[in-house]
Amino acid sequence: MAKFPKGFLWGGALAANQTEGAYLEGGKGLTTVDLMPTGENRWKIATGHIDSFAPKKNEFYPSHEAIDFYHRYKEDIALFAEMGFKALRVSISWARIFPNGDDEMPNEAGLQFYDDLFDEMRKYDIEPVVTIAHFDVPVHLVEAYGSWRNRQLVDFFERYAKTILTRYQDKVKYWMTFNEINMLLHLPFVGAGLVFKEGENEIQIKYQAAHHQLVASALAVKACHEIIPDAKIGCMLAAGETYPYTSNPDDVAKAMEKDRESFFIDVQARGEYPGYAKRFFRDNHLTIEMEAGDEELLKNHTVDYIGFSYYSSRTASTDPEVLKNQTSGNVFGSVANPYLQTSEWGWAIDPKGFRITANQLWDRYQKPLFVVENGLGAIDEPNADGTIEDDYRIDYLRKHIDQMGEAIEDGVDIIGYTSWGPIDIISASTGEMKKRYGYIYVDRDNEGNGTLKRTKKKSFDWYKNVIASNGEIL
Ligand code: BG6
């Protein structure tokens, strides 16, 4: 029996802010990521500390041009079609549709761009999978309202969501609300456009903003079910099981606590805050302001599937000595797991953890899973003739897809797999170009030099075969 079900959605995943470029074209407004340069200031800004809401002359902002997908999407989609993609995950840039976020009327040029993009995918029978918010908020909403800390964002988001759900109701049948909703706890500017003033209670603001996003997510689910009854709409978690470093019950409890960061998904999938989240709020003296009707809304409008990204597992410990040995580069901060190798950016490589994570999510939520991100960020060195032999990437993906098959054998309902960055794009965490995930190489470096020419890597044909054999040939 084939492991992967018929109609399994093989493909790739992208995000507007990491691919499109054309940051002010077609009437688009500035988004948060347009204020994130490469280099040391990026991290400061990502964590909510910014001193200007306009790009600066002496900084390089990779999102401004990115890989110019805005102008080159036809060429790129033709390459994805050549690989046999069944699905392509993209996000809509909020500021292309509502340049300021609080505009009364949407921007027609922005709407038309995505119409054209979805038509191009449909031309090749590629199913669009659309994230409504992937790490970008119109800058005006940050400046004028304080972004997601302000309840008004819920209304602006609802208007935006209803606009795109209505416009693309015949073209898009798979939707997702917020990308990696738990990211706002780690990179609050990236996940929610949050900027903190000196001395503010950051944790209180983050959880209040999270509540607003959860309400907005439920409203988008409601609208999607009303406007496109045959569509599916999911949530999206940055997943990765946390292992205890030892069998010491303190470590086990710590790992459990760390994993419970995914309480967001309990709210989105089960419709209510779990008891441990309420306890966490109590113990930390956090007060989440809710409006009348919020609880009912969350309860009545849960998601159809659980979208998640998986790059690595994490490890937790309570031992101060062990805690000194952190893996670098992973925004989720984890102690190094002595059994695992890491990527060049310090992310633990753990294919079996993928099977474990998928099983845990399935056991916990009993809703179909959609793997909407997985992949290896690595440096590719083209040979003298321009070819790229990315066997390390093939190795990573092969082992992960194999373990996804094991999870399916375990009985986990997985509807699709869109690997991250099927074409090289800007890294979300570092802004680098050299952290490449693609089957397709893009000639561009960290400083923005290069022709942007696309070249197939060795993994291109490999993935093509995986899809053609429905995961039988790895
Ligand atoms: C996820 C994001 O966090 O991981 C993507 O949803 C991101 O936007 C991806 O690009 C990989 O992370 P990075 O930092 O290597 O780009």
> What pLDDT, on the 0 to 100 scale, is given for residue 330?
53
| SS3 category, 138 | strand
Is 462 contained in some domain? yes
Position 354 confidence tier, pLDDT thresholds 50, 70, 90? very high
- Determine the distance separating the centroid of ligand 1 and the alpha carbon of 356, expressed in angstroms: 21
- Report if residue 163 sits inside a domain: yes
Measured CA to CA in angstroms, residue 386 lies from 380, 389, 442 at distances of: 11, 10, 11
> Tell me: the pLDDT tens digits for 90-133?
999 999 999 999 999 999 999 999 999 999 999 999 999 999 99
Kindly give the number of the ligand 1 atom that is closest to the alpha carbon of 421.
Answer: 10
Query: What is the set of active-site residues?
Result: 373
The three state secondary structure string of 172-183 is CCEEEEECCHHH
Ligand 1 centre to CA of 291 (Å) is 33
Give the percent of the chain with pLDDT over 70.
99
Q: What is the pLDDT of residue 328?
A: 59
- What is the secondary structure of 209-231 as a DSSP string? HHHHHHHHHHHHHHHHHHH-TT-
pLDDT of residue 56: 96
Determine the average pLDDT of the residues in 38-46: 94
What residues contact residue 422 under an 8 Å CB cut-off, 6+ apart?
11, 12, 13, 14, 80, 83, 85, 437, 438, 439, 440, 463
Residue 41 has pLDDT above 70, yes or no: yes
Residue nearest ligand 1's atom 9 by CA: 428
Residue 429 CA to ligand 1 center (angstroms) comes to 6
Specify whether the CB–CB gap between 31 and 54 falls below 8 A.
Answer: no
> What is the 428 CA–ligand 1 centroid distance (Å)?
5
Is 360 within a domain?
Answer: yes
In the chain, % of residues over pLDDT 90? 96
What is the average pLDDT value for the chain, to the nearest integer? Answer: 96
In angstroms, what is the span from residue 309 Cα to ligand 1's centroid? Answer: 9
pLDDT beyond 60 at 1: no
Is 130 a domain residue? yes
CA of 189 from ligand 1 middle (Å) equals: 14
Average pLDDT for 153-161: 98
CA distance 114 to 470: 29
Structure-token pair, residue 433: 């170009």
Is it the case that residue 334 has pLDDT exceeding 90? no
Q: Using the atom order of ligand 1, give the atom closest to the CA of residue 430.
A: 14
Q: Got the DSSP string for 331-352? A: TT--B--TT--B-TTS-B--HH
**How many CB atoms sit inside 10 A of residue 52's CB?**
9
Q: Is the dihedral of CA 303, 305, 309, 312 positive or negative?
A: positive
Tell me if 279 is assigned to some domain.
Answer: yes
Does residue 3 lie in a domain region?
Answer: no
Shortest-distance Cα residue to atom 2 of ligand 1: 428
User: Any alpha helices (H) in 234-319, and if so which ranges?
Assistant: 249-259, 263-270, 275-283, 294-300
- CA nearest ligand 1 atom 14, residue: 429
Q: Whose CA is nearest to atom 8 of ligand 1?
A: 428
Pocket of ligand 1 (CB under 6 A): 15, 18, 135, 179-180, 238, 309, 373, 377, 420, 427-429, 435
Mutate to test the pocket of ligand 1, among 19, 136, 237, 373 (most ligand atoms within 8 A of CB): 373
- Atom 10 (ligand 1): residue with closest C-alpha? 428
Atom of ligand 1 at shortest range from CA of 345: 15
Residue 10 has phi, psi (to 5 degrees) of: -80, 140
pLDDT tens, residue by residue, 56-94 = 999 999 999 999 999 999 999 999 999 999 999 999 999
Establish if 454 belongs to a structural domain.
yes
Report yes or no on 1 lying in a domain: no
Q: Whose CA is nearest to atom 5 of ligand 1?
A: 428
Q: Choose which residue among 189, 190, 309 to substitute to test ligand 1 binding: the one with the highest number of ligand atoms within 8 A of its C-beta.
A: 309
Domain with residue 364: its CATH number is 3.20.20.80
List, for residues 230-288, the tens digit of each pLDDT value: 999 999 999 999 999 999 999 999 999 999 988 999 999 999 999 999 999 999 999 99
Residue 102: which of 137, 56, 134 has the closest Cα? 137
Closest atom of ligand 1 to CA, residue 377: 15
Domain tally for the chain?
1
Q: Which domain holds residue 361?
A: 9-468
pLDDT at 325: 84
- Burial of residue 342 (number of CB atoms within 10 Å: 0-12, 13-18, 19+): middle
